Chain A
Amino acid sequence: GDSVTQMEGPVTLSEEAFLTINCTYTATGYPSLFWYVQYPGEGLQLLLKATKADDKGSNKGFEATYRKETTSFHLEKGSVQVSDSAVYFCALSGYSSASKIIFGSGTRLSIRP
């Protein structure tokens, strides 16, 4: 079945460092891909998404490109801030079941001032 694998955390970086969180997926057809973020004490929020191959999703300085050839959707940010500390979830919505989101296990990110 469809699945998402993302790099395990926790990831700890200094402020202004470059961030990459790896995500790969397994799915039939052409899924939509998402990154969700969960700040402490808050609900999951959609950070960005991409719905077809080579699409780039971006928001709040974060980017991820839908790479069908490598079945990847890695999250990147050029200069992280303390306020980016959160748990990040990679997810997919399958072509055959657009309403069902399958999540990765999450990566906890901590940014040191």
Chain B
Amino acid sequence: EAGVVQSPRYKIIEKKQPVAFWCNPISGHNTLYWYLQNLGQGPELLIRYENEEAVDDSQLPKDRFSAERLKGVDSTLKIQPAELGDSAVYLCASSLGTSGGANEQFFGPGTRLTVL
């Protein structure tokens, strides 16, 4: 069974440029998460989707960040414009659901963003 797929794995851009990250969750997983991981820190949740609905986006900086999961499967996270402080690893995770044994989250390898 394929795991969570993310692309690109690495991205280097200049500040003020836009950037997008793509995530394909494990087949059948209804819940999708985007996390931000700064260097030397643990991941922090940015947004959680239940199917195509964003049910927790309280930590997403909405002035420059946006996300979508149009058909309830793949998801895209966008930053426009990027700032130097956005340099980090962006992780995607998915789970079957959010209760009981279904809430185990499976993580992708992440996209490492460097903003110059």
Contact = CB atoms under 8 A, between A and B. Distances in A.
A99 interface: yes
The interface size bin for chain A is 20 to 34
Contacts of A45: 107
B45 A100 contact: yes
The B contact surface, by secondary structure, is loop
Interface string B101-115: 001111111100000
B103 A98 contact: yes
A99 B109 contact: no
A46 interface: yes
The A contact surface, by secondary structure, is strand
Interface in B55-106: 56, 91, 93, 95, 98-99, 103-106
Contacts, number: 49
A105 B98 CA distance: 24
Contact of A43 (B40, B91, B99): B91
Interface string A80-107: 0000000001010100001111011110
A75 to B, nearest CB: 14
Interface of A: 4, 36, 41-46, 49, 89, 91, 93, 98-101, 103-106
Given A43-B110, A44-B43, 13 more contacts: A4-B42, A42-B109, A43-B3, A43-B107, A44-B91, A45-B107, A46-B106, A98-B99, A99-B48, A99-B56, A99-B95, A103-B43, A105-B40
